[in-house]
Amino acid sequence: MLDLNTLIEFSSTYCIGICAFLVPANLVATASTITFRLLGHPAIHIWETALIASFFALFMILHVFAWFAIGVVMAPTYILLGLGSICLLANLIAILPYRCFVNA
């Protein structure tokens, strides 16, 4: 069974390491998805990069929610929540069909 207390403890103990990995990973992976979309790569490549980038974004959002659960409410928590949400939204928009953006 999944123990949320253990996950929250892990998140709070290794916060610096988690954030040091997730912030650049989110930015690089989301930038890759957007770049692939703008350059017209095949849909499978866009879906693969969007899946990886969305995983990083969801992980960051869950990490921030772990901080909210223990009562840490500071500017960095909101900034990281915003970053994760924006990256997740950008990846979801990138996988939309092209015809959604064109009046044809």
- Going by C-alpha positions, the residue among 44, 23, 39 that lies closest to residue 87 is 23
Distance CA 60, CA 37 (A): 23
Distance CA 3, CA 52 (A): 25
> Highest mean pLDDT: which of 1-5, 7-11, 38-42, 80-84?
80-84
Domain boundaries, the chain: 16-96
pLDDT of residue 99: 58
Answer yes or no: are the C-beta atoms of 54 and 26 closer than 8 Å: no
pLDDT of residue 62: 92
Averaged pLDDT of the chain:
89
pLDDT of residue 33: 95
CA distances for 104 relative to 6, 34, 37, 99, 101, angstroms? 52, 23, 19, 7, 9
> The whole model's pTM is what?
0.86
pLDDT in tens, 46-63: 999 999 999 999 999 999
